Amino acid sequence: MLHSAHLLNGTACRRLATLSANANAIADVPGEIGGLESLMTLDLSANVLIKLPGELAALPSLLTLTLAGNRLEDLPEGSYPALKT
């Protein structure tokens, strides 16, 4: 079985602009997501997330983050200053 972190380590992934991983029963987002420097849109809605990795907040190009339908316990205020939606 291929671990999700392996999918995020490729050179091609660093140029990824949109990632839709909604409704996949995802419980954990690997810290390697921080390597997706070109990611502008991320849809993690309808999963089972409780927390997000700090690396996600540091993505320089992220403008849209969709998290509806998760079990997030806390999202620190001001963590995602560049987000538009």
Per-residue pLDDT of 22-47, as tens digits, reads 999 999 999 999 999 999 999 999 99
User: Above 80 in pLDDT, residue 9?
Assistant: no
Mean pLDDT of 63-75: 92
Say if 51 falls within a structural domain.
Answer: yes
pTM assigned to the model:
0.84
Q: Do the domain assignments include residue 20? A: yes
| Residue 10: count of CB within 10 angstroms of its CB | 11
Q: 23 vs 9, 15, 20, 44, CA distance in Å?
A: 22, 24, 9, 8
- Flag whether pLDDT at 20 surpasses 80: yes
In a domain, 83, yes or no: no
Which structural domain range is residue 37 located in?
A: 4-66
- pLDDT over 60 (residue 6): no
**Cα distance between residue 41 and residue 10, in whole Å:** 18
How many domains does one find in the chain?
1
Domain membership flag for residue 79: no
Residue 5, pLDDT > 90, answer no
